[in-house]
Amino acid sequence: GAVVSQHPSWVICKSGTSVKIECRSLDFQATTMFWYRQFPKQSLMLMATSNEGSKATYEQGVEKDKFLINHASLTLSTLTVTSAHPEDSSFYICSAPRGANEKLFFGSGTQLSVL
Amino acid sequence: GESVGLHLPTLSVQEGDNSIINCAYSNSASDYFIWYKQESGKGPQFIIDIRSNMDKRQGQRVTVLLNKTVKHLSLQIAATQPGDSAVYFCAETGGSYIPTFGRGTSLIVHP
């Protein structure tokens, strides 16, 4: 079964609104989670590293004020796309490392469509 | 991994054939490699991994080969099934567990 739960699976919103995506680790604690963005037929691009109890670390070129990350507990990280625009439409995926080998497990992804 | 490309390479095979998906990586310091399978509209799913101290690792119907000399990784799928149709990504890490993803290969299995 899934070890990382991501919600919602898809969301459609109007331009200018904000959208929150949740990522939960199931049955394990994750002090770190990762957020990726994926455009159609392209690879996954790391956006940011979410750190429990501290600020997220953003990759170069990712606007931290645009993509707000909160890692409020050891099992939950949220990504909020603020003032969404059509160019923010994409597939967003979270992941969390688990186990001694810190193998990454991925959520099912969220398809965001901004009208 | 390879830089992100505009179009995914595609591999078409007949059901029952063996599939080989290739990946070139760029970081000679990478010491851990993973293959992921991603079905349409879903997140990546772990298939198999290999550390740099090995050159071959086998799983159920899958084998990963690592050639560090030429920085090449391959995934072999035996007796490919329609359910294997997906995009396959290789990923590499070096020092941290944050993988860098390759561009991916779309596998299409024809019944």
| Per-residue pLDDT in tens (0 to 9) along chain B, 111 residues | 333 334 679 999 999 999 999 999 888 888 889 999 999 999 999 999 999 999 999 999 999 999 999 999 999 999 999 999 999 999 988 766 678 888 899 999 999
Which residues have C-beta within 8 Å of that of residue B74, sequence separation ≥ 6?
B20, B21, B22, B23, B64, B65
A 10 A CB-CB count for B47 gives 20
Kindly report the nearest CA distance between residue A43 and chain B, in angstroms: 5
Q: How does pLDDT run across B1-10, given as a tens digit for each residue?
A: 333 334 679 9
Q: How does pLDDT run across A74-85, given as a tens digit for each residue?
A: 999 999 999 999
Set of chain B residues whose Cβ sits within 8 Å of the Cβ of A93:
43-44
* Residue B5 confidence (pLDDT): 39
* Residue A100 confidence (pLDDT): 66
* Residue B57 confidence (pLDDT): 97
* Residue A1 confidence (pLDDT): 67
Set of chain A residues whose Cβ sits within 8 Å of the Cβ of B104:
42-43
* Residue B97 confidence (pLDDT): 66
CB–CB contacts below 8 A, A to B: 56
Pick the residue of B42, B88, B93 with the most A CBs within 10 A to test the interface with A by mutation.
B42
For residues B95 and B88, give the distance between their C-alpha atoms in angstroms, rounded to a whole number: 23
User: With an 8 Å Cβ cutoff, is B47 touching chain A?
Assistant: no
Cβ of A46 within 8 Å of Cβ of B102? The answer is no
Can you give the three-state secondary structure of chain A, one letter per residue?
CCCEEEECCEEEECCCCCEEEEEEECCCCCCEEEEEEECCCCCEEEEEEEECCCCCEECCCCCCCCEEEEEEECCEEEEEECCCCHHHCEEEEEEEEECCCCEEEECCCEEEEEC
* Residue B63 confidence (pLDDT): 98
Phi then psi for A88, rounded to 5 degrees? -85, -10
CA distances from A40 to A4, A44, A115, B67 (A): 22, 10, 17, 30
Q: Which of residues 47-76 of A touch B (CB under 8 A)?
A: 49
* Residue A8 confidence (pLDDT): 97
pLDDT < 70: residue spans in chain A: 1, 100-101
Of A2, A71, A79, A9, the residue nearest A47 (C-alpha):
A79
CA distances from B105 to A108, B23, B25, B93 (A): 19, 9, 14, 19
* Residue B95 confidence (pLDDT): 65
